[in-house]
Amino acid sequence: MDLYKELCEAAGAENVLTDEPMSRHTTFRIGGPADYFVTPSCVDEIRKIIEICHRNSIAYYIMGNGSDLLVGDKGYRGVIVQLFKRMNEIRVTGERIYVQAGALLSRTAAAACEASLTGMEFASGIPGTMGGALRMNAGAYGGEMKHIVESADILTADGEVKTLSVEELGMGYRTSVISRNDYVALGAVLKLQRGDQEQIRARMEELKEKRISKQPLEYGSAGSTFKRPEGYFAGKLIEDAGLRGYRVGDAQVSEKHCGFVINRGCATAAEVAQLMEDVADRVEERFGVRLQPEVKKIGEF
CB 254 within 8 A of CB 222: no
**DSSP per residue over 245-264, as a string?**
T-EETTEEE-SS-TTEEEE-
- DSSP at 75: B
CA distance 134 to 188: 8
- DSSP at 297: E
Whether residues 233 and 195 share a domain: the answer is no
Whether residues 78 and 109 share a domain: the answer is no
Whether residues 96 and 194 share a domain: the answer is yes
259: CATH: 3.90.78.10
Q: What is the pLDDT of residues 148-166, one digit of tens each?
A: 999 999 999 899 999 999 9
Whether residues 107 and 186 share a domain: the answer is yes
Number of domains the chain contains:
3
72: CATH: 3.30.43.10
Please report whether residue 153 resides in a domain: yes
Residues with Cβ within 8 Å of 31's Cβ and at least 6 positions away in sequence, in order, are 21, 22, 23, 25, 69, 70, 71, 72, 73, 75, 76, 269, 299
Whether residues 70 and 95 share a domain: the answer is no
Annotated catalytic residue, options 6, 224, 254, 271? 224
Please report whether residue 115 resides in a domain: yes
Burial group, residue 61, by CB count within 10 angstroms (0-12, 13-18, 19+): middle
pLDDT value of residue 1: 62
Whether residues 193 and 102 share a domain: the answer is yes
Domain end, chosen from 134, 165, 199, is at 199
Per-residue pLDDT of the chain (301 residues; tens, 9 = 90+): 699 999 999 999 999 999 999 999 999 999 999 999 999 999 999 999 999 999 999 999 999 999 999 999 999 999 999 999 899 999 999 999 999 999 999 999 999 999 999 999 999 999 999 999 999 999 999 999 999 999 999 999 899 999 999 999 999 999 999 999 999 999 999 999 999 999 999 999 999 999 999 999 999 999 999 999 999 999 999 999 999 999 999 999 999 999 999 999 999 999 999 999 999 999 999 999 999 999 999 999 9
Domain end, chosen from 82, 105, 125, is at 82
Whether residues 223 and 288 share a domain: the answer is yes
Instruction: Tell me, yes or no, if 174 is annotated catalytic.
Output: yes
CA distance 131 to 276: 25
Three-state secondary structure of 107-140: HHHHHHHHCCEECCHHHCCCCCEHHHHHHHCCEE
Domain end, chosen from 82, 116, 133, is at 82
Whether residues 38 and 119 share a domain: the answer is no
Please report whether residue 280 resides in a domain: yes
For the entire predicted model, the pTM comes to 0.95
In which domain, by residue range, is 294 found? 215-298
Please report whether residue 168 resides in a domain: yes
Beta bridge partners of 175: 172
pLDDT value of residue 129: 97
CB 266 within 8 A of CB 233: no
Q: What is the pLDDT of residues 85-123, one digit of tens each?
A: 899 999 999 999 999 999 999 999 999 999 999 999 999
Whether residues 12 and 36 share a domain: the answer is yes
Please report whether residue 246 resides in a domain: yes
Annotated catalytic residue, options 151, 174, 179, 254? 174
